[in-house]
Structure 1
Amino acid sequence: MTALENAWAGHPIVVGGVSLGAHVAARWAAANPDKCAGLVLALPAWTGAANGAPAALAAKASARIVTDHGLETALAGTTGWLHDELTRAWHGYGDELVPHFEEASESPAPTLDELRSLTVPTGIVGCTDDPVHPIEVARQWANAIPRAVLTTTTLDAYPRALGRAVQAWQRARN
């Protein structure tokens, strides 16, 4: 959340993120309602405590695989755009990748009460065929946030997901 605090320059800002980044953005907005002008959220992974959510379990498993067998083995099961994106992102973490996986697997997402407190326009994109980020979570978030608009995508179309979330945010503003 430090990056969000540093981004705020005295006027409300639109913030967002993907997966854990969506969790961080929504929690920051709930804690700083006067600083947030809107939210662009993609693939929220759970609500409240992780409690064995698929994305939390995937983060723990990924940490174990990287620790025991190396980063290339952890990436070996991915293909296409997902392989390219994870390769870029995971290599960027260097030695901090495993600690980030472990932290992510236990980080709380916003609670339903925190989500209900959000009064800013919010665009949410959920993926209808992603077992790690269940569409039910995106729907739950959209139902809880008063000014949310939910749009959906598929894993094949995912590289355009943030654009779809921005479009949903624009519709929520009206």
Structure 2
Amino acid sequence: MRPMVDLVGQTAVLLPGTASDEVFVRSVFEEPLAQVGMRLTAPATVSVDEHVAALDAAWTGTPLVIGGISLGAHVAAGWAVRHPERCAALLVALPAWHGPAGDAPAALVARASAAVVEREGVDQALAGVDGWLGAELDRAWRRHGPRLAETLRAAAESTAPEPDALARLRVPAGVAACSDDPIHPLGVARSWTAALPGAVLRTTTLAALGADRAALGRTAVLALLHALT
């Protein structure tokens, strides 16, 4: 049986994706969480080790609502698998793969971007990336400075939880995906949802995310609310 979770008054600790940042996490989740009476903690972490350390630091003896976007979701779910007693609920946005990254689209893009950054610089790596995504990457990538290529490559070699590990995590989980996102395929989100015993999947689109970053957060929070009913 899943534990009952009262979201009102809870703080959600949510982690950024590969070479992203806490600014994007806040733009996605701050408003939707506030609408259900929750607060957001968005650590300014970059590497997998830093993400894990932030979750360790947030643990004070009371189960946490945790999650993140893409790589951040992977790290949070993996932490919850290792420490199930510390997790009250999961918010998973845009999961990108199971297990080793391998040739997952997001990993391939990260490796290719790292190579261009090292060879030709950030400007060339961002060439042709327009609109809202270009603006987000331009801000976040430049903040990473000389760590950018290393950060991209390390993320592409990281491991997400396998389905059998997720199956042991009996907490409510809201899973959000963009139905038209080739980098974070909907099929991956569906497999995460099928593996997590207490998960509900809801979808939005890249167009909606581009118009309003909080569209993704609302989708994840709505999925979690449905998982709690």
TM-score bracket, shorter-length normalisation: over 0.9
Partner of residue 85, structure 1: 136
Following superposition, the deviation at residue 162 of structure 1 comes to 1.8
Q: Within 5 Å, which residues of 2 pair with 1:115-154?
A: 115-154=166-205
Distance 1:86 1:39 in 2: 26
Partner of residue 169, structure 1: 224
Partner of residue 36, structure 1: 87
Following superposition, the deviation at residue 85 of structure 1 comes to 1.2
Alignment RMSD (CA, Å): 0.9
Find the partner of 1:109 among 153, 160, 171.
Answer: 160
Partner of residue 13, structure 1: 64
Following superposition, the deviation at residue 168 of structure 1 comes to 0.9
The structure 1 segments of at least 4 consecutive aligned residues displaced by more than 4 Å after TM superposition are none
Partner of residue 63, structure 1: 114
The percentage of aligned residue pairs carrying the same residue is 52
Following superposition, the deviation at residue 71 of structure 1 comes to 0.6
Unaligned 5+ residue runs, structure 1?
A: none
Find the partner of 1:2 among 53, 62, 65.
Answer: 53
Q: Deviations over 1:46-100 (max 9, x none)?
A: 0011121111100000101111111111112212211111112111211111111
Partner of residue 47, structure 1: 98
* Equivalent residue letter for 1:133: H
Q: Which moved more, 1:135-144 or 1:79-88?
A: 79-88
Distance 1:77 1:22 in 2: 27
Distance 1:43 1:119 in 2: 20
Unaligned 5+ residue runs, structure 2?
A: 1-51
DSSP 3-state at the match of 2:80: helix
Following superposition, the deviation at residue 163 of structure 1 comes to 2.1
Aligned residues: 174
* Equivalent residue letter for 1:122: A
